[in-house]
Each structure stands twice: as structure tokens, then as C-alpha cells.
Amino acid sequence: MRDLNNKIVWITGASDGIGKELAIQLAQLGAKIILTARSVEKLERIKTNLAGDGHLVYPMDLLKVDAIPDAANEVLYKIGTVDILVNNAGISQRSLVKETLIEIDRKIMEIDHFAVVALTKAVLPKMMAQKSGMIITISSVAGKFGVPMRSAYCAAKHAVIGFMEALRAEVHSDNIKVMVVTPGSVQTNISKNALEGDGKKHNVTDPLIANGIPVEECVQKIIKGIKNETPELLIAKGKEKLAVYVKRFFPKVLFKMMTRMQTT
């Protein structure tokens, strides 16, 4: 996948953050982008500013998981194939377990896990038939260890990593690559858009996010990972990066660290 020129790349959550920046940088490399999110207006503005031509806006509400297969079939009918699927859309959380309504747990799991599974399954037959393709899923370091105030988010991100690891083994002989990206704090609106326990938007940028990795830098690393067909890509710094390795080798130490962690 070293040459991305004329590759058809479908990106969910393309109206902001990592998804938007991926669309910009991949288009500069000659890729044809399918932009998906809920806001047609935002997607159209992004499309207008993308390098090259042949890009497509396809709005979708990924919370409507049952509608995803038909939507994917419509996209495939229009453009013929998808070379790279980027499952980027997602939503985070800022609330204690005891304060989180069960419908919020379900909503986060639907968007961050089941929508990813549904869209992946919808494009998989075409990739298997053509014996090529790449499926990229943006998980999180929260998919590697549990963090206070993020229970539902951590659950969904853990789940999607497990799903993609199983899928990677299953489709290896079909020449389909599966890449999982586990970013730490990146300078996006993820904490502003996060849900509180009652479903309200958090509307606050966490200090970790404000001081996180610039989104342009994060996307540069993702594109390098695409070109190298990296199975799992950790993009983090400082304590977040360290925590991934502490969990692997000294889990009891990490568990104690989490009990002392101050989160917002």
C-alpha cells in the first residue's frame, strides 16, 4: 500500500479531527476520498478544499446501525470498490459508572463498536472478492487499559480491538490488511463532544487533549502506518504511552496508578 494514488478511501467521522485531517492528507497523495459523517454541510466544505477530484460526500448517522449494510451497498454501487476503509467515527465519555445511564453505555457501544463491525462486514465481501483491501480502525489507548470516567468508552475500544485482531487472522489469506490505531490524547474536539452520564455534551477540552499530539502529526504517523501495512500502531507520548507497557508487564502497578488518577 505504498502508493496511495487513485486509491479509494472511505473515511467515517470525516467532518472533524483525525478523519478530516486524514481526508486532507490522503487527497494530497492522490487518493479518492469518500467522506462520511452526519453533517452534509461540513462534508461539502471539506470536499471543496480537497486536492484532486473524484471525491464523494456520503452522509450517514452511524447510530442507525441497521441501515449501514444498505448504505454500504449504495456506496459500492456508485464507486465500484473501496480500497481502504477507515473506521474513525466515535464518541467518548466523561462520567462515573454510577452516574451513567445504561442508554448512554449502549449509545457509545453502538457507535464505537457495532457501527464499526457493521460497516466492516458490509465492505468485506467486495475486498475478499478482489483479494485486496485494507481496514483501518481508530481505537484508543483506552482500548488497552481502563480509565476512570471512561467506562463505556473503554469497553467499546477494548471490544473493537478484539474484533479486529480476530478479523486480521481470518482474512490474511485473502490479502486483506487490518490495522488498528491506538492514539493517546490528540488535539481534537473529542472531549468537547464526549457524553456525560445523562447524555449531555461535555463541552470542555481536557488539559490532556489541549496539550496532546497535534492532529496533523498524528495523521502523518497513520499514513506512514498505512504505507508500511502496520498491524497495530500506538500513537501516544508521556504517561499514556508508558501506561500501555506498564499494563503489559506490570499490571498491578497500573491498576494502582488508575486508583490515584485524577480525571475530568
β-sheet bridge partners, residue 34? 10, 56
Q: Which helix (H) or strand (E) holds 153?
A: helix 151-171
> How many CA atoms lie less than 13 Å away from 218 in the CB half-sphere?
25
Domains of the chain: total: 1
Q: Answer yes or no: 245 catalytic.
A: no
123-130 long-range Cβ contacts below 8 angstroms, 24+ apart: 123/10, 123/72, 123/76, 123/82, 123/85, 124/171, 124/176, 126/76, 126/81, 126/82, 127/82, 127/171, 127/174, 127/176, 128/171, 128/174, 128/176, 130/81
pLDDT of residue 242: 94
Instruction: Say if 1 falls within a structural domain.
Output: no
> How many CA atoms lie less than 13 Å away from 163 in the CB half-sphere?
23
DSSP 17: H
Instruction: Say if 260 falls within a structural domain.
Output: no
Instruction: Say if 111 falls within a structural domain.
Output: yes
* Contact indicator for 141, 182 with CB cutoff of 8 Å: yes
What is the distance between the alpha carbons of residues 4 and 264, in angstroms, rounded to a whole number? 39
DSSP 111: I
Q: How far is CA 257 from CA 93, 142, 152, in A?
A: 20, 14, 20
Instruction: Say if 264 falls within a structural domain.
Output: no
pLDDT of residue 2: 80
pLDDT of residue 163: 98
**pTM, to two decimals:** 0.95
CATH number at residue 133: 3.40.50.720
**Neighbouring residues of 256: CB distance < 8 A, sequence distance ≥ 6:** none
Q: Please identify which residue in the block is written with the cell numbers 477494548.
A: 158
pLDDT of residue 261: 77
* Residues with pLDDT less than 50, the chain: none
pLDDT of residue 260: 82
Instruction: Say if 253 falls within a structural domain.
Output: no
Instruction: Say if 257 falls within a structural domain.
Output: no
Extract the C-alpha cell encoding 90.
466515535
pLDDT of residue 249: 95
Give the structural domain span for 218. Answer: 8-238
Extract the C-alpha cell encoding 112.
464505537
φ, ψ of residue 174 to 5 degrees: the values are -95, 5
